[in-house]
A and B are shown apart, each in its own frame.
Chain A
Amino acid sequence: MTKLKYAFIDAYVIAQRNIIRIKRVPEILVFVLISPIMFVLLFAYVFGSAIDIPGGSYREFLIGGIFAQTVVFGATFTGAGLAEDMQKGIINRFRSLPMSPSAVVMGRTASDVIYNSLTLIIMALTGLLVGWRIRSSFWDAVLGFGLLLLFAYAFSWMMALVGLVVPSVEVVNNASFVVIFPLTFIANTFVPSEGLPGPLRTFAEWNPISALTQAVRELFGNIPAGTPPPEVWPLQNPVLYSFVWIVIIIAIFAPLSIARYQRVTAKS
């Protein structure tokens, strides 16, 4: 029991350290803030003007997908941050301390919630600027943002493992894109999944990012009236399905990342 208590206290101390570092190196923050603006503007205008859907705005429909994609991309920061930590002298101090072995990773994923929240805020503001509107109830919208944030948190754990496996920050970025690109593009983020050829369509339908996108669109009320209901279970129950994935991702990647951290720091 005290072990668990200290796991949280230590993670809190590490998160505090990471937050101080965010303040000291605001350059990273600039990037965190610019990328959602860029994503929203780019995709909304480039794709949004290409297609017209009857009875609604394609741009508004797109925003849900952009939100989902951006929070997933944001998780890369977790991997990059950890990879950087592992190369710094301070890790040797951590290794000599009687601290909880989960603290560095837990503290990192926790402090990155700040990045994710900022990303969401900036993204929503930019969205409003280009004509996106929340057309649902207040609580649905809260649930929508909450779901995005949780999903980002789960993905942080996945990228944490990447950050601990690969040797440098640059490789983290490249390795992350290899995972994130297919996940975010073979989905309903930009085009309806019905139009995709066979196996890709199945992948897209069961892809958690499709469900997240669908959930966000529903919760923000951005699905145009008259759109046929989805045919597969994950997209019919997107909130539940996304939530199940959040739990699964954390359940798999949190222990893996922590174990990996222990292995890396306990070098023979």
Chain B
Amino acid sequence: MAPIIEAHGLVKRYKEIVALDGLDLAVEPGTILSVLGPNGAGKTTAVSILTTLIKADEGTATVAGFDVREHPDEVKKNIGLSGQYAAVDEQLTGFENLRMVGRLYRMGKPAAVRRSRELLEQFDLTDAADRPVKGYSGGMRRRLDLAGALIAEPPILFLDEPTTGLDPRSRADLWIAIKGLVAGGTTLLLTTQYMEEAEHLADDIMVIDHGREIAHGTADELKNMLGGERVVVTVADPDHIARATEVLAQFAVGEQHVDDHTRELTVPISGGAPVLTAALRALDTAGIAVTDVGLRRPTLDDVFLTLTGHRTEETEIASVEVGE
């Protein structure tokens, strides 16, 4: 099947900052593409170009068969967008917001009202439906904004970090809703900073950084790029970090990662539990006390770390603070 979202060589510059640096992407109808990247990677920029909100400096993109530059109105009729920041009217109630959005999608009055009530129910906002949005919590606004993207049941959805700021339950609910939509034939492009989210939802994951694709594949494919499992060791004394690194080097099959802030060493190994035991014994012999130890399969976070040399946002902030 031909891709329903397609982009070639998208470039977007803001003065000297290159937000997108030749990004290609393609999404087949009825599938999910998850665009994974840290802050400033260019996720929002890519979504904004595909949803016609901004224009690329170079490159082309089509959505639902329409060129985003030439036919923005046709594109808009076929998409629903929930941006990174909730775009809702503070003074209107949740219901009034949705009804307005429905009407502006050119739905008839009764249809807009019915869909609004349906979505308020689905997103657990029934109790708050008739209260002005200014009294909503961040998560409630977020869900209302998502409902706005869904109201006209567009065939293509763009969700820019849809679960950022949601509590675990709302996030799980949203995942179920998203899976339901895709099962019903909706195509979805979603951005996220959460590895587990990409892994849980997406058929196809694209990792981007500095406006470029740095890896692309299914969650399993990305993990296979990294081979075997990891030993994760937390040393008790920060002064022991360097020594521990030396000791563990003999077991490593790839580059070790050291987080000075958490005193955590991540060592790619092959050979499983026996190697872990040997590594622990070696540390013990060297007189290095360990507070925590574990063996785990590579996560997408490791993929990210390996490919970009830095972790995703949450952990990156922690390490930047101590000035590495």
Contact = CB atoms under 8 A, between A and B. Distances in A.
B211 interface: no
Which of B87, B92, B132, B145 gathers most chain A CB within 10 Å?
Answer: B87
Interface of A: 6, 9-10, 13, 16-17, 20-21, 24-25, 88-99, 103, 266-268
Nearest to A90: B89
Interface stretch (B50-58, B166-174, B230-238, B256-264): B50-58
B101 A88 contact: no
Contact of A25 (B86, B91, B106, B145): B91
Nearest to A6: B106
Nearest to B73: A98
B307 interface: no
Interface stretch (B77-85, B117-125, B289-297): B77-85
Contacts of B104: 10, 13, 94, 97-99, 103
B90 interface: yes
Closest 6 CB pairs between A and B?
A: A93-B87, A92-B87, A98-B76, A96-B81, A24-B91, A99-B104
Interface in B61-89: 73, 76-77, 79, 81, 83, 85-89
Which of B53, B96, B100 gathers most chain A CB within 10 Å?
Answer: B100
Contact of A17 (B51, B89, B106, B145): B89
A264 to B, nearest CB: 13
B297 to A, nearest CB: 39
Interface residues of B, number: 28
Given A21-B91, A93-B87, 17 more contacts: A9-B103, A17-B89, A17-B92, A17-B96, A20-B91, A21-B89, A24-B132, A89-B87, A91-B87, A92-B53, A93-B88, A93-B145, A95-B53, A96-B76, A96-B87, A268-B54, A268-B55
Interface of B: 51, 53-55, 73, 76-77, 79, 81, 83, 85-92, 96, 100-101, 103-106, 132, 145, 148
Which of A16, A89, A91, A266 gathers most chain B CB within 10 Å?
Answer: A89
Nearest to A103: B104
28 contacts: A13-B100, A13-B103, A16-B100, A17-B100, A20-B92, A20-B96, A21-B89, A21-B92, A24-B91, A24-B92, A24-B132, A88-B89, A89-B85, A89-B86, A90-B87, A90-B89, A92-B83, A93-B88, A94-B104, A96-B79, A96-B83, A96-B87, A97-B104, A97-B105, A98-B104, A99-B104, A267-B54, A268-B54
B161 to A, nearest CB: 14
B88 A90 contact: yes
Name the prevailing secondary structure of the A interface residues: helix
A266 B295 CA distance: 51
Given A21-B92, A24-B91, A267-B54, A97 B101 contact: yes
A119 B200 CA distance: 58
A89 B73 CA distance: 21
Contacts of B76: 96-98
Contacts of B85: 89, 92
A204 to B, nearest CB: 42
Contacts of A20: 91-92, 96
A93 B132 contact: no
Nearest to B90: A88
A90 B100 CA distance: 11
Given A13-B100, A25-B91, A88-B89, A93 B148 contact: yes
A20 to B, nearest CB: 6
B293 to A, nearest CB: 47
A101 to B, nearest CB: 9
Contacts of A88: 89-90
Contacts of B81: 96
Nearest to B75: A98
Nearest to B79: A96
A267 B53 CA distance: 8
B5 to A, nearest CB: 15
Given A6-B106, A92-B87, A268-B55, A98 B77 contact: yes
Nearest to B132: A24
A98 B105 contact: yes
Contacts of A266: 55
A89 B91 contact: no
Contact of B53 (A13, A90, A96, A103): A96
Which of B88, B103, B148 gathers most chain A CB within 10 Å?
Answer: B103
A3 to B, nearest CB: 10
A267 B106 CA distance: 24
Contact of B88 (A24, A89, A95, A98): A89
B112 to A, nearest CB: 9
A62 B287 CA distance: 98
